[in-house]
Structure 1
Amino acid sequence: MGKKLWRVVVAGGAAAVFTGVAAVPAGAAEGGASFSRVQVNGGKPVVLGVSKEVAVPTSFRVTTAHPVKWSMAFLYRVDTSNHLWHGIETSDCIVVSPSVCDIDETMYFEPGLYDMRNSEAGAWKVAAEVRFQDNSGDTDKKDLTVYVKRNSRLTVNASPEPAAKGSTITVTGKVTRANWETRKYASYGGRLVSLQFKPTGASYTTVKKVYANSSGALKTTVKASTTGTWRWVYYGNTTTGKSTSAGDNVVVK
C-alpha cells in the first residue's frame, strides 16, 4: 500500500481529448465525468507468479463535456489514493458520441518490477479516474471487486509403475505458492487438495481429498484397478490461484 505508479502509453502519442458540448451531458457526475461499463480481466482473478509479466485487459466508458488529457481504471483498497502498483497502457478515445468515449486499457503486473508484497494478494476495489486539460480531475469508485492472487503449483508421482491389479498405488506430490517478495515458490502447507483419476479413454473424476502437511507434501494410497492417469487439483482461495498437476499414468496389469 502507499505506492502509486502508472505508465500511460497512448496510441498514436496523443492523449484522448473529447470535443464535448457546452454543458455537462446527462449521466455525467458532479465532478465532471461519469464512468460505466467497467470491466477488468473479464471478471476473472489476476493470478501472478514470481517473474512473468501478466497483461490484464480492461475497458470502460467515460462521459464528460470537458477536454481530457488521459483517463484510466485502477485498483485500490482503503481509498483511491492507495493504488496497487502496476503499469497501465491506455488507448485513444474510441468515440461513441461527442461527449462519450470508450477506452481500452491494459494493466501490467510483474511482481519483481513493481515490488509487490505478499500482503497485496486478495480483494481489490476498482475506481476510474480522468484528468482534464485544465489539470482538474474526477475519480469515481465503482461497485466492482478484482482478486489479485499468488500462483500455486502442484507436482505428482504415482508408483509403482506398472502396478499389479489389486495392489496398492502410492500417490505423492507437493503444493507450493509464489512468494512475491523472495521471487521463489515456497511450500504451501495445510491445503485441501483433490486426487483425480482418469481411466484410459475417459474423463477425470475426484477419488478423494487429501490435506497437505505443513511442508506442502501430499501422500495417499489407492487400489490399482485399471490403467489410467492420476493428478492433483487445488481449487485456490481468495489470495491464491487454483492449479492442476501434470498427469502420471500407471499401467495396471
Structure 2
Amino acid sequence: MGKRIALSVAAALAVVGAIAPSAYADGGSGDTEILGITVNNGSSVVIGTTYAKTFNVEIDAYDDSGLMSADTDLDGPGYGYASDKTICETDYTCTHSFTFDPRVDLDNSQAGTWYVGSWVDAIDGDYRWDERIDSFRLKRASTLTTNASPEPVTKGKTLTVTGTLQRASWDDYKYHGYTSQSVTLQFRKKGSSSYTNVKTVKTSSTGGLKTTVTASADGYWRWTFAGTTTTSAKTSDSDFVDVR
C-alpha cells in the first residue's frame, strides 16, 4: 500500500497474543447482540490534502450483563485497513475514534466504500463478532467555483457562466480537475429564498465548466455537484449579477 493506516491513540492492535477478529466468520456466544453502527454521525468521511480527519465509530450492542469492550475493524479498498480496541463507555454503546491523515495513511485507491466489523465482549464472558455490520464512504474532498460575466449585463443579453470542479489527490497532495462530471447550474432570483436548476453541464478534461444563459433578472448563479462514491458533493459560492 505504501502508507500506513493511522490508528487512534486508543488503538490496541498491539495487545499481546490477541487474535484478529477478521480471522473468524460471524458468530458468538450467549445473548450478546450487535444492533448497528453509526460512522461520523451518519455522514461520509471527507478528507482533503492537508489535514488529518478524526471521526467516531459508535457500536450499538446489547448483553443482559452489560458490555465490556469492543474491537472494531474498518476494511476498505486498496488494502485500506484500521483497527481500534476500546472499553465500552455504557452498557449499550462502544465508541471508537479513528484518525486518517492523507499525507501518511491514504492514497487515491482507498477512496470508496469501507466496511465495519466488530467483536464485542460482554461482562459475563459472552461475545459477538460480525464481520460486516454496515458500511460508510471515505471520500476525496472537492472544490467548485462559479463566475458569471459580464457584470452588470443588459437584460436579454447573453451571460456566460464558468467554473472549475477539482478534487483532492491523496497521491500528490494537490487538487486536480475532475473530468467528465455532471454539474448543475442553479439560479436564485433576487428576493427569492430558493434556487432552481437551469441546466446540467459536463466538466472538461481539466474540470472546467462553461455555459451561456439569457440574462433576465437580477440574481445569484452557482454550480452544484452531487458527488460520487469516491468524491464529496460540493456547491460553489454564488455570484450575483446585476441585470439592467
Report the TM-score when normalising by structure 2: 0.79
Q: Distance in 2 between matches of 1:119 and 1:131?
A: 33
The alpha carbon displacement at 1:131 in A equals 7.8
The alpha carbon displacement at 1:93 in A equals 2.8
Alignment partner for residue 84 of structure 1, among 81, 85, 93? 81
The question of 1:93 aligning with 2:88 is answered yes
How is 1:191-230 mapped onto 2 (pairs within 5 angstroms)? 191-202=181-192, 203-230=194-221
Counterpart residue type for residue 60 of structure 2: R
Q: Distance in 1 between matches of 2:52 and 2:155?
A: 47
Partner of 1:56: 55
Partner of 1:36: 35
The alpha carbon displacement at 1:38 in A equals 1.8
The alpha carbon displacement at 1:163 in A equals 0.4
The alpha carbon displacement at 1:216 in A equals 0.7
Structure 1 stretch 169-178 or stretch 41-50: which is displaced more?
A: 41-50
Count of residue pairs brought into register by the alignment: 222
Counterpart residue type for residue 116 of structure 2: V
Q: Over the residues paired in the alignment, what is the CA RMSD in angstroms?
A: 3.1
Q: Could you tell me which runs of 5 or more consecutive residues in structure 1 were left unpaired when the two chains were aligned.
A: 11-27
Contact 2:183 / 2:201 at 8 angstroms: preserved in 1? yes
Contact 1:190 / 1:214 at 8 angstroms: preserved in 2? yes
CA-to-aligned-CA distance 1:95-149 (integer Å, 9 cap, x gap): 42xxxx52122222221132x01010111111113589xxxx9742133111111
Identity %: 36
The alpha carbon displacement at 1:8 in A equals 3.9
Decide whether aligned partners of structure 1 residues 85 and 105 sit closer, same or farther in structure 2, where only a CA change above 3 A counts. Answer: closer
The question of 1:6 aligning with 2:7 is answered yes
The question of 1:148 aligning with 2:143 is answered no
The alpha carbon displacement at 1:57 in A equals 2.6
The question of 1:105 aligning with 2:105 is answered no
Alignment partner for residue 238 of structure 1, among 209, 229, 238? 229
Counterpart residue type for residue 243 of structure 1: K
Decide whether aligned partners of structure 1 residues 171 and 33 sit closer, same or farther in structure 2, where only a CA change above 3 A counts. Answer: same
Q: Distance in 1 between matches of 2:85 and 2:150?
A: 52
How is 1:121-140 mapped onto 2 (pairs within 5 angstroms)? 121-129=111-119, 139-140=129-130
Q: Distance in 2 between matches of 1:4 and 1:31?
A: 33
Q: Distance in 2 between matches of 1:42 and 1:209?
A: 31
Counterpart residue type for residue 178 of structure 1: A
Counterpart secondary structure, 1:241 = coil
The alpha carbon displacement at 1:208 in A equals 0.4
The alpha carbon displacement at 1:60 in A equals 1.2
Decide whether aligned partners of structure 1 residues 174 and 67 sit closer, same or farther in structure 2, where only a CA change above 3 A counts. Answer: closer
Contact 2:34 / 2:128 at 8 angstroms: preserved in 1? no
Partner of 2:147: 157
Q: Could you tell me which runs of 5 or more consecutive residues in structure 2 were left unpaired when the two chains were aligned.
A: 12-26
Decide whether aligned partners of structure 1 residues 156 and 105 sit closer, same or farther in structure 2, where only a CA change above 3 A counts. Answer: same
Contact 1:74 / 1:83 at 8 angstroms: preserved in 2? no
The alpha carbon displacement at 1:53 in A equals 2.3
Contact 1:7 / 1:89 at 8 angstroms: preserved in 2? no
The question of 1:190 aligning with 2:195 is answered no
The alpha carbon displacement at 1:51 in A equals 1.5
Partner of 2:166: 176
Q: Distance in 2 between matches of 1:156 and 1:60?
A: 41
Q: Distance in 2 between matches of 1:31 and 1:74?
A: 22
